[in-house]
C-alpha cells in the first residue's frame, strides 16, 4: 500500500490523497492559509491509485 499526499505550495501542510478524493476541492487546513487544494493537483498516476483503492475499500 502506498500513501498519496499533496503538499500545500503556500504553507507546506500535507494533505492525504484520499481526503482530496472525497472532498475534490478544499481549502488548505493549514493555519491562516487560504490556498485552495484540488484532487486534480495530484499527478495522474496518484489520482488513479487513489481511485482504485477507494473503490476496493467500498466493496
Domain boundary assignment for the chain:
5-58
pLDDT the model gives residue 59: 56
Q: Cell 475499500 maps to which residue?
A: 57
Q: Does the model's pTM come out above 0.85?
A: no
CA atoms within 13 A on the CB side of 46: 16
If phi > 0 it is left, if psi is from -120 to 50 it is alpha, else beta; for residue 48 that is: alpha
Q: How far is CA 53 from the centre of its chain?
A: 14
The stretch 16-29 carries a mean pLDDT of 95
pLDDT the model gives residue 7: 97
Amino acid at each position: 500500500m502506498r500513501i498519496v499526499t499533496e503538499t500545500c505550495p503556500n504553507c507546506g501542510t500535507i494533505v492525504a490523497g484520499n481526503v482530496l478524493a472525497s472532498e475534490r476541492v478544499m481549502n488548505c487546513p493549514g493555519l491562516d492559509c487560504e490556498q485552495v487544494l484540488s484532487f486534480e493537483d495530484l499527478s495522474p498516476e496518484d489520482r488513479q491509485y487513489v481511485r482504485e483503492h477507494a473503490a476496493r475499500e467500498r466493496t
